[in-house]
């Protein structure tokens, strides 16, 4: 059977290798001159390929029930076994983030390319439209003289995030004509622009913070993670993981509440009152827990003397300081957009796809894999995990359908 796969990114490469192994005649098409461009840039070049905590509940989607079925169909260990069989053994960091043993995204692409040797690969082939025929699909390319026919089609064409790596968002109209809804596509895992005034002396600071996104003073999303304070706002997983909650049409109605001590706030509170610290200067005590720039910032804001002895502090001063540590409010100005986003939300609803096969409920013979589907994970390897997991289900699924 002839299988067409649009997109030779993480999910398309995986789907191509798996369906070829299952005996299919695979044609893999990509607009870029070389496959896996985004995959080759992941994890700052180190390729954070999966996560030990990968499970449906970690993801944002329109159909949590369907996502649970996907994770039940291909347990996480099977994704890692597939990668190992492709020649990509993996290793996990202490916090459960999984990387290839080589810690090289470029090597991962090269290894997957080696596995593609017997697959018909068409690079520099932009598919502009897909039409349905009685026995399959016609894929229309940007070159009017070139059309491709296939009996089954896997759409693995990703999202518009990071267009500088060759992402495109031109097939949504075709997908709509094939019967699907397209949920609004928004940048996700994006830095957040904020009012630069409150934190302007903290530029360059990087720390683990508690982050609460508030809309019109009501909490919308919370996270604890690393943040980096910049001249335009906040970067890092701590804020990126919740950036998709901001409506890009009205960013000014959001605020971020930052907790500089999400894990050690209680410890700081006890240390301030501990007898053994009575003669210690406030500045020295805070430096045990927080970056120096944050300590100076907090002392300025609370008007407390750096050399004040902890034992000489009034209760109200301690309370004011602890409040400042845990409740910094900064106004949101916007999300940095697709150019800086690592992923997207929206696209094809998972609810319109059979989770056991990734086959469309609307258009038989059409399968989906990867970020084109409305499934978003946080930073930490979850999105590549989904790309591989959904690709394996789709490749297995179209073969199952064929044998039915």
Ligand X SMILES: Cc1cc2nc3c(=O)[nH]c(=O)nc-3n(C[C@H](O)[C@H](O)[C@H](O)COP(=O)(O)OP(=O)(O)OC[C@H]3O[C@@H](n4cnc5c(N)ncnc54)[C@H](O)[C@@H]3O)c2cc1C
Binding site for ligand X (CB under 6 A): 6-12, 29-32, 37-39, 41-43, 48, 126-127, 156-158, 161-162, 165-168, 170-171, 342-343, 370-371, 381-384, 387
Angle between helices 10-21 and 105-115 (to 10 degrees): 30
Nearer residue to ligand X within complex by CB, 168 or 257: 168
Count other C-beta atoms under 10 Å from residue 125's C-beta: 21
Return the number of the residue (173 or 312) whose C-beta is nearest ligand X.
Answer: 173
What is the nearest approach in angstroms of ligand X to the Cβ of residue 199?
24
Nearest-5° Cα angle at 164, 338 to 14: 90
Q: How far is the CB of 60 from ligand X (least distance, A)?
A: 13
Alpha helices by DSSP H, listed for 101-194, are 105-115, 172-177
Q: Min. distance of Cβ 200 from ligand X in angstroms? A: 27
User: Taking Cα atoms as reference points, which of 285, 165, 291 lies closest to residue 227?
Assistant: 291
Nearest to ligand X of 97, 297 (CB atom): 97
Judged by CB, which is closer to ligand X: 256, or 387? 387
**Who contacts 242 (Cβ-Cβ below 8 Å, separation ≥6)?**
211, 213, 220, 221, 222, 223
- Do the beta carbons of residue 223 and residue 259 sit within 8 Å? no
Q: How far is the CB of 395 from ligand X (least distance, A)?
A: 13
CB of 119 to ligand X, least distance (A): 15
Q: Which of 240, 242, 238, 246 is nearest to 209 (CA)?
A: 238
Cα angle, residue 137 at apex, residues 135 and 143 outer, rounded to 5°: 140
Tokens, residue 168: 């495109």
Closest to ligand X by CB, 49 vs 310, is 49
* Cβ distance to ligand X smaller for residue 161 or 295: 161
């Amino acid at each position: 059977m002839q299988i067409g796969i649009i997109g030779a990114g993480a999910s398309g490469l995986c789907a191509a290798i798996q369906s070829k192994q299952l005996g299919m005649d695979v044609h893999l098409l990509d607009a870029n001159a070389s496959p896996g461009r985004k995959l080759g840039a992941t994890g700052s070049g180190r390729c954070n390929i999966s996560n030990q905590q990968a499970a449906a509940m970690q993801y944002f989607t329109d159909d949590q029930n369907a996502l649970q079925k996907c994770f039940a169909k291909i347990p996480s260990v099977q994704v890692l076994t597939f990668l190992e069989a492709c020649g990509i053994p993996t290793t996990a960091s202490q916090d459960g983030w999984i990387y290839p043993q080589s810690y090289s995204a470029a090597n991962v692409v090269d290894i997957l390319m080696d596995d593609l040797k017997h697959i018909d690969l068409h690079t520099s082939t932009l598919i502009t439209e897909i039409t349905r025929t009685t026995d399959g699909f016609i894929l229309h390319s940007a070159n009017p003289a070139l059309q491709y026919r296939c009996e089954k089609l896997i759409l693995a064409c990703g999202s518009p995030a990071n267009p500088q790596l060759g992402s495109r968002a031109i097939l949504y109209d075709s997908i709509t004509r094939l019967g699907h809804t397209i949920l609004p596509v928004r940048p996700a895992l994006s830095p957040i622009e904020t009012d630069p005034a409150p934190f302007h002396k903290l530029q360059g600071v990087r720390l683990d913070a508690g982050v609460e996104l508030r809309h019109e003073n009501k909490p919308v999303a919370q996270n604890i993670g690393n943040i980096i304070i910049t001249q335009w706002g906040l970067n890092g997983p701590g804020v990126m993981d919740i950036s998709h909650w901001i409506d890009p049409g009205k960013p000014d109605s959001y605020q971020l509440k930052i907790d500089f001590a999400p894990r050690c706030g209680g410890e700081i509170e006890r240390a301030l009152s501990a007898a053994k610290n009575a003669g210690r200067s406030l500045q020295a005590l805070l430096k045990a827990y927080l970056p120096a720039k944050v300590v100076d910032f907090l002392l300025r804001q609370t008007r407390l003397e750096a050399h004040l002895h902890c034992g000489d502090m009034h209760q109200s001063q301690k309370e004011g300081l602890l409040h400042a540590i845990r409740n910094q409010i900064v106004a949101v100005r916007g999300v940095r957009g697709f150019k800086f986003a690592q992923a997207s939300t929206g696209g094809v609803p998972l609810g319109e796809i059979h989770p056991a096969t990734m086959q469309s409920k609307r258009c038989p013979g059409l399968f989906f894999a990867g970020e084109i589907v409305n499934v978003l994970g946080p930073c930490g390897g979850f999105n590549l995990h989904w790309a591989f997991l959904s690709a394996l289900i789709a490749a297995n699924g179209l073969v199952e359908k064929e044998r039915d």
